[in-house]
Structure 1
Amino acid sequence: MTGTGLATELGRITQLVDEASGGGSPLERQLSFLSRQLIWITLVLAAAISAAGLSAGRPVFLMVETAIALAVAAIPEGLPIVATLTLARGMLRMARHNALVENLAAVETLGSTTVIMTDKTGTLTENRMEVEQILTPSGDFSIDHGLASIVKEGAIVDPSADPELMQALLIGVLCSNAEYDRHAYSGTGDPMEIALLRAGSFAGLDRKQQIATFPEVAEHPFDTATRRMATIHRTGDHHFAAVKGAPEEVLAAADRIGIKMEPLDEAERTTWLRRGEELAARGLRVLAVAVHPRAIKDQPVPDGLVFYGLVAFRDPPRGDIPETIAALRRAGIRVVMATGDHPSTALGISQAIGLTEPGALVMTGAELSRLLNASAAERQEIVRRQIFARVSPEEKLQLINAFQREGEVVAMTGDGVNDAPALSKADIGVAMGQRGTDVAREAADMVLLDDAFSTIVHAVREGRVIFANIRRFSAYLLSCNLAEVLVVGIAVFTGLPLALLPLQILFLNFVTDVFPAFALAAGEGEGDVLDRPPRQPNEAILTKAQWLSVAVYGAAISGATLLALISSIHILGLAAEQATTVSFVTIALAQLWHTFNMRESGTGLWYNSVIQNRFVWYATALCLVLLLAGINVPLLSEMLEIASIGMNGWALALGCSLLPLIAGQLWLASGTRRPAIGSHLKVKLNEQP
């Protein structure tokens, strides 16, 4: 035993997870900010209207009751309910695309993501490792998996006739934790170790038989510091170590080469490093294999290794990755690769999947650590790169921090125990469901049940639609509530009869406001939502442009309602109670028609996400039924203090209620491209900061 608790590798990972605090999601922060804004607006409006009413000689109880009702009207109580149900519905829709969301707020976060940081193996590639080449001092060999044979210079060879090849294969078989059944052609364990066992089986090497011959007495797991793994085996009266790891690390610790243990000079070491880089440049993953002929059982393997060659693995890129990366690029999202592999391997794969162009620069973990402590200008170099190689779990954590400091919203994909800290730190952690560890899944906000990177595209679209819907129904609720406040406030200040009574305000707020908002929350989004860049991370749910629209629509609805109120008194000659009922019917209908003003500017009048949303039509029909019930059912009409207004009153209310809809459609079709109520403004991708 060498350590317990936090002194172990798992303890170190646990400590990193605890230290990685992602904070609230962008949506949570924006909803909190909007709530604080509304509280102050509500208090000011309620106090001002109450004071005006009292100074005008209105009854004290009525004005207190009205102030309370206005406070209820000014704050959209349906907002948190509708937002929660919108996110929950988004979770269900994502689950249908094999994205299981564990954190409700994370549903929307992917929609605002600007950077997706991903590992290479198993995410961008198939995680189907196969040994493709073995380079030994005695020659270069390739593997024919179809014939289960080893080939040299185009001809099948007998591996047992080449001692150095057999030694390289034996090291791969011994230095392993995997199991392989050559009859079933399948195994369990790390895919790379299974590939080594499969290649060894082509030479007749079975792990169980070799372990019986060379019993394993100790293991030194892969260490991110030394970048190598070793197992200690007994042979006769002494022990030897089988070592595999990064070529640069293994070669640096080796001073001899081959069966004859000839000296390994610096020139030959450089030659082997160059050959490893050539393999890596082809997108192959490269390991070096070596032995230490006199290892000590309970001590780390020292330098003085005997180098036996390089093993190159082929892990094909997933077929859908190029299309997925292209879709994310159109959506304005950068994909960043952070891998523990050799820089040349990372570059080769990135070019094969269309992530980078030839000649792209790769930053290593060592360079990353140096730049993190440099000046702010030099740190900018970090966020400009797309490929990071030879990075450790700690360096992934630092990398996420670096992007977040620049205002990026970072999604991180991972599957291993070592990925847990980065998954926890990212704005949204995405774990793999099939090959991911329990630790990674627990630390993540979302799990890809099919391990397919392309599933993220569906999740990004859903996240953007969710935010657009939240913005849309927030604007709808606030414009309706503003209209109610303005109608009552202006009527009080100008000495008109009360346009709305307290219970009528509550009826509007809990009936004609909420159901259309639910319907807007169920929208499917516009077809080009993935052709737009992500919104700025600090962008509010309602920006200045959306607040302007709220003010315009609120003024239009209140203006139409006041027009109906005044006309009912001075043109139709109705009593004050009847005029109040006319204004109540007018604003209730106007709010229902106002739902259709929530389409995005630039979309067709008859072809847009609101018109095509069947729930909008259901909500409109339901609200009309409830409104008619409130007016005609005796008990309800008595509670709401509804008076008979006759056919002329109904015609006036209906005609005035259509005015805000007409004005809204003219506003949307006026020819000026305004920021959409339901989404962010389209801009060219290359104009993104």
Structure 2
Amino acid sequence: MPEKTTDSYHSRDIESVLEAFECDPDQGLAASRAEALLEEHGRNELVEEKGVSVWKLFLRQFASIVVYILGGAMILAFSTGRFPEGWALLAVILVNAVIGFVSEWRARKSMAALQAMGKPHAHVIRDGEEKEIAVETVVPGDVLVLGPEDIIPADARLIEVDALRISEAALTGESVPVNKSTDPVGEDAPLAERTCCIYKGTTVQEGSGKAVVTATGMRTELGRISELASGAEQGEAPLQERLDELGAKLAYVSLGLAVLIGGLGLALGRDMVEMIETALALGVAMIPEGLPIVATIALARGMWIMAKREAIINKLTAVQTLGATQVICTDKTGTLTENEMVMRRILTPEGNAVLDTDSHTYRAGEEDADGEINDLVHHAVRLGVLCNNAELSSDDDDAHRGDPTELALLDGGVALEMAREKLLEQYPERREVDFDPDVMMMATYHERPDDGEILVSVKGAPERVLEACSTIASADGGSNELSSEEREEWLSRGDELAAQGFRLLAVADKVVSNTDPDPYEELRLVGFLALDDPPRSDVKEAIEACHSAGIDVVMVTGDRETTAHAIGKETSIVNKEEGSEDAKKGEELGEIPSEREKRDELSRTHVFARVSPEQKLNLVKLLQEDGKVVAMTGDGVNDTPALKRADIGIAMGKRGTDAAKQVADMVLRNDDFSTILAAIEQGRIIFGNIRKSVVFMLCTNLSEIIAVGIAATVGLPLPLLPLQILYLNVLTDVFPALALGVGRGSHEVLKDPPRPKNEGIMTGAEWKRTVVWGCILAACVLCGLLLSLEVLGLEEDAAITVSFLTLGFAKLTFVLNLRDVRSRVFNNEVLRNKWIWFSSAFCLALLCAAAYLPGLKDILSVVSPTLPAWGVILGLSVIPVVLGQIWLTLRRRKEGLG
């Protein structure tokens, strides 16, 4: 049997390929031979990674150091007979897991709906007959029969073609269908230039042909890319890393304090059971039990907001990771552009016309003094519409049929009131000469309405059409001889437009008496039609907003350099003032020997063209090794390795392949780049909200540690009992923290640069603030205990109740200190957050229930406060917020913020 790769078949002639596979192009394989080959090579299918099972998805929610610590505290509580504390901790752990599981499960169901697609069949010749078989049973040596809209079932070498054009966008990123032939190409030809081969997963745009299968399953180009994707491991999400780091720090501090104070207490002669109870109280106090719940709900709400903005988030932490994005590597076709060819310019010897993109109408070029579109412009478009076999549906864009370029010509004709159906009534078609990839032209013959003569309408590659032209159109409808100088001038004009990213077609005509004459001789040049896939209307603004937010945007496409660079300039990706270089081919980056030089090149180049799947993957790796958080967009199978490797993989929902959607962290249902910016904004808001929540919980938790630690050291009664601490942390901490976590935030976040990749949730400034406020809150708690014992003369249980409620009420007012320093006392995000007020009212009810509700107050060892005790509680609880607002106001004035 032949080699197991398709690498050499594009450079070999048809006879040698048929001989290698012992294949007869007319008879195909015998059924018995096909069965043996299927046994030898296996089924024609890709090896898919097993999805995460429901149970694994649920168990994954427990993979957090904070949850591990809570589990340890739960075990300690049960082992020492403190069952209420144990059950409460178990409830916290389970609630967090359920919320995370439900959010990710719903995202998975949304993805399943996007990916619901039927499996196609293949048409092959076996035993001398054309048969329809399951794609999975195609084997090397099968002769494929190809027709319009067929999905190619395997890699194959073409042996017959008839105007065959293949859409390879899903595999190579090339937006324009490729003209195929049977002629071999060079052995070193890149995938996008192997015009004699077809590849699994691509689509027949038009035409027909036959091909002999050279590779199936994982041996195909698609299979090779699938293997690349399976090896492209994604790092852990930044938020998960930060939470784990914080959890580890808290674990060490908790363990150290418990051992230190427990040992000190024993050395001072304190009771062993009392010290175990103290150690448990310190352990519970140090852990922000509500942190996993707050983070999970904040992220889940982010998923919900993103879903409303046309984005499906596959993984909970992906919402926040977007907020840390420093580089967006984006595809061109359909993401930055409309994925729809448009006729933008019409050039003739006597005047031009350009498309007004706002009104989608054409206007005369600046050189036309009278501002009117001349007849020659109309005639150029008329020729493009007549020499056409696409079908434009007026009811449904999805019902359009034909080549995107020809559809653009028809659309331009409609804009100039020359719909093809009406033109054909005036100019009935008498003959068509199909597009020939060798001559790069197409022609149609039409009967003229006035004299019955035959109008030959020709369109094709400018250099080929110019070669066939002997005259050039004049303003009066006649023609003049086409001189060599004029020929060079038109070629030069074509080169200039091509350099700007336009796809060019030349149109020409001649009048003959019947349909017999050769269509490509003695033509009259009428003009050029310039087409492109224009940028989306909101893309430039979105990219400029990315730049303002400190985010680099890099275009990575399989398209041509000229096209990519033109779109880069038009969308502000390329900025000459900042020293951006021109577009580079993906292979050029690989030719640079030094890793440092490669990174320097990356910092200067923002457009990469003709990029292979391996090069995309390496590009992402280089950026990550340089410390960047990378988001990668893609829609094709060729994008899957890079999508999986990137910190955030973003697939297109409308035109994306199943493979791309399955490995992506986020799917854009509207394929719109601006949705990425909205997701980044939401991610930044969420991280800021979670940071506020963490500061809030750690401030109050630290105050509990300080108060309990000092009391245990100096011989005072514990101001807070373990179950009281758990009640405060799980209930009166969680709800205000959760309210902070779901705040709407501000659009101002996009004016700040991305935070450093290694920046933790708690920076040095946050830790200083936490320690200061923790000490102030602890002082209020201890003052409440001492005042109750020494001044009010209360019993120990009643005094502990005062310190417990003091901290509870202080937390409700302290949350107001979490406003931004730039905001005002009575006009800030915290006060505008309705959930803060709901949570405060709910927590107030919980504290009152703890003080007066029979059963609950007994479990918590609470004694209903007297009126003087309430005076102490309320007086001490407002001290932190008063001090906080004074400090924030003074800082705001010091920094000149108003």
Using structure 2 for the length normalisation, give the TM-score.
0.61
* Residue identity opposite 2:794 in structure 1: L
Judged with a 3 Å threshold, the aligned counterparts in structure 2 of structure 1 residues 3 and 199 are, in CA distance, closer, same or farther, namely farther
1:248-397 correspondence to structure 2 within 5 Å: 258=467, 277-285=495-503, 312-357=530-575, 360-366=580-586, 368-397=588-617
CA contact (8 A) 2:381 2:409 kept: no
Q: Does 1:191 find its partner at 2:404?
A: yes
CA contact (8 A) 1:565 1:583 kept: yes
1:156 paired residue among 360, 363, 379: 379
SS at the partner of 2:667? strand
Q: Give the drift of 1:549.
A: 1.1
Which runs of no fewer than 5 residues in structure 2 stay unpaired? 1-212, 363-372, 414-418, 442-458, 470-485, 508-524
CA contact (8 A) 2:346 2:377 kept: no
Q: Tell me, in whole angstroms, the C-alpha distance in 2 between the residues paired with 1:526 and 1:514.
A: 23
CA contact (8 A) 1:371 1:382 kept: no
Aligned equivalent of 2:777: 557
1:280-679 correspondence to structure 2 within 5 Å: 280-285=498-503, 312-357=530-575, 360-366=580-586, 368-671=588-891
Q: Tell me, in whole angstroms, the C-alpha distance in 1 between the residues paired with 2:344 and 2:548.
A: 35
* Residue identity opposite 2:635 in structure 1: D
* Residue identity opposite 1:123 in structure 2: T
Q: Tell me, in whole angstroms, the C-alpha distance in 2 between the residues paired with 1:121 and 1:586.
A: 61
Deviation per CA, 1:328-362, whole angstroms, max 9, x where unpaired?
Answer: 22222122222233333333323323333458422
Note the aligned Cα RMSD (angstroms): 4.1
Q: Give the drift of 1:40.
A: 0.8
Judged with a 3 Å threshold, the aligned counterparts in structure 2 of structure 1 residues 49 and 158 are, in CA distance, closer, same or farther, namely closer
Q: Tell me, in whole angstroms, the C-alpha distance in 2 between the residues paired with 1:258 and 1:71.
A: 86
SS at the partner of 1:500? coil
Deviation per CA, 1:495-522, whole angstroms, max 9, x where unpaired?
Answer: 1222112222222222211121111111
Q: Give the drift of 1:190.
A: 6.5
Deviates more, 1:81-90 or 1:598-607: 598-607
Aligned equivalent of 2:61: none
Judged with a 3 Å threshold, the aligned counterparts in structure 2 of structure 1 residues 197 and 632 are, in CA distance, closer, same or farther, namely same
Q: Give the drift of 1:487.
A: 0.6
Q: Tell me, in whole angstroms, the C-alpha distance in 1 between the residues paired with 2:300 and 2:633.
A: 22
Aligned equivalent of 2:239: 27
Judged with a 3 Å threshold, the aligned counterparts in structure 2 of structure 1 residues 650 and 550 are, in CA distance, closer, same or farther, namely same
Judged with a 3 Å threshold, the aligned counterparts in structure 2 of structure 1 residues 479 and 391 are, in CA distance, closer, same or farther, namely same
CA contact (8 A) 2:821 2:888 kept: yes
Q: Does 1:57 find its partner at 2:280?
A: no
1:16 paired residue among 228, 248, 255: 228
Aligned equivalent of 1:98: 310
Q: Give the drift of 1:113.
A: 0.8
Deviates more, 1:43-52 or 1:570-579: 570-579
SS at the partner of 1:430? strand
SS at the partner of 1:395? helix
Q: Tell me, in whole angstroms, the C-alpha distance in 1 between the residues paired with 2:431 and 2:792.
A: 102
Q: Give the drift of 1:111.
A: 0.8
Deviation per CA, 1:3-29, whole angstroms, max 9, x where unpaired?
Answer: 112331221221221122222111111
* Residue identity opposite 1:104 in structure 2: L
1:128 paired residue among 335, 340, 344: 340
Deviates more, 1:364-373 or 1:121-130: 364-373
CA contact (8 A) 2:264 2:713 kept: yes
Aligned equivalent of 1:108: 320
Q: Give the drift of 1:541.
A: 0.9
* Residue identity opposite 1:113 in structure 2: T
Aligned equivalent of 1:292: none
SS at the partner of 2:391? strand
CA contact (8 A) 2:851 2:865 kept: no
* Residue identity opposite 1:334 in structure 2: D
* Residue identity opposite 2:554 in structure 1: V
* Residue identity opposite 2:261 in structure 1: I
Q: Tell me, in whole angstroms, the C-alpha distance in 2 between the residues paired with 1:358 and 1:433.
A: 33
Q: Give the drift of 1:616.
A: 1.0
Judged with a 3 Å threshold, the aligned counterparts in structure 2 of structure 1 residues 257 and 88 are, in CA distance, closer, same or farther, namely same
* Residue identity opposite 1:336 in structure 2: V
Q: Does 1:44 find its partner at 2:267?
A: no
Judged with a 3 Å threshold, the aligned counterparts in structure 2 of structure 1 residues 56 and 288 are, in CA distance, closer, same or farther, namely farther
* Residue identity opposite 2:404 in structure 1: P
Q: Give the drift of 1:424.
A: 1.8
CA contact (8 A) 1:127 1:191 kept: no
Q: Give the drift of 1:414.
A: 2.0
Q: Tell me, in whole angstroms, the C-alpha distance in 1 between the residues paired with 2:772 and 2:887.
A: 9
Q: Tell me, in whole angstroms, the C-alpha distance in 1 between the residues paired with 2:255 and 2:487.
A: 76
Q: Per chain length, whose mean CA-contact separation is higher, i.e. which structure has more relative contact order (CA < 8 Å, sep 6+)?
A: 1
Q: Tell me, in whole angstroms, the C-alpha distance in 1 between the residues paired with 2:794 and 2:661.
A: 67
Deviates more, 1:430-439 or 1:559-568: 430-439
Deviation per CA, 1:266-321, whole angstroms, max 9, x where unpaired?
Answer: xx9999996554113434246999xxxxxxxxxxxxxxxxxx99974222222212
Aligned equivalent of 1:176: none
* Residue identity opposite 2:313 in structure 1: V
User: How many percent of aligned residue pairs carry the same amino acid?
Assistant: 44
Judged with a 3 Å threshold, the aligned counterparts in structure 2 of structure 1 residues 552 and 368 are, in CA distance, closer, same or farther, namely farther
1:118-267 correspondence to structure 2 within 5 Å: 118-131=330-343, 154=377, 156=379, 180-181=391-392, 187-188=400-401, 191-192=404-405, 194-195=407-408, 258=467
Q: Give the drift of 1:364.
A: 1.5
Deviation per CA, 1:224-274, whole angstroms, max 9, x where unpaired?
Answer: xxxx9x99xxxxxxxxxxxx99x9xx99xx9x99569xxxxxxx9999996
Which runs of no fewer than 5 residues in structure 1 stay unpaired? 174-178, 220-227, 232-243, 261-267, 290-307, 676-681, 683-689
Deviation per CA, 1:395-432, whole angstroms, max 9, x where unpaired?
Answer: 22222222222111111222222222222222112222
Q: Give the drift of 1:74.
A: 1.0
Q: Tell me, in whole angstroms, the C-alpha distance in 2 between the residues paired with 1:671 and 1:446.
A: 40
Q: Give the drift of 1:575.
A: 3.0
Q: Give the drift of 1:143.
A: 10
Deviation per CA, 1:438-483, whole angstroms, max 9, x where unpaired?
Answer: 2222222112222222222221111111111111111111111111
Q: Tell me, in whole angstroms, the C-alpha distance in 1 between the residues paired with 2:335 and 2:273.
A: 66
CA contact (8 A) 2:696 2:815 kept: yes
SS at the partner of 1:431? strand
**Count of paired positions:** 607
Q: Give the drift of 1:83.
A: 0.8
* Residue identity opposite 2:551 in structure 1: I
Judged with a 3 Å threshold, the aligned counterparts in structure 2 of structure 1 residues 273 and 52 are, in CA distance, closer, same or farther, namely farther
Deviation per CA, 1:570-614, whole angstroms, max 9, x where unpaired?
Answer: 322333332222211111111222211111222211111111111
Judged with a 3 Å threshold, the aligned counterparts in structure 2 of structure 1 residues 132 and 568 are, in CA distance, closer, same or farther, namely closer
CA contact (8 A) 1:362 1:389 kept: no
Judged with a 3 Å threshold, the aligned counterparts in structure 2 of structure 1 residues 198 and 524 are, in CA distance, closer, same or farther, namely closer
Q: Give the drift of 1:629.
A: 1.1
Aligned equivalent of 1:295: none
Aligned equivalent of 1:305: none
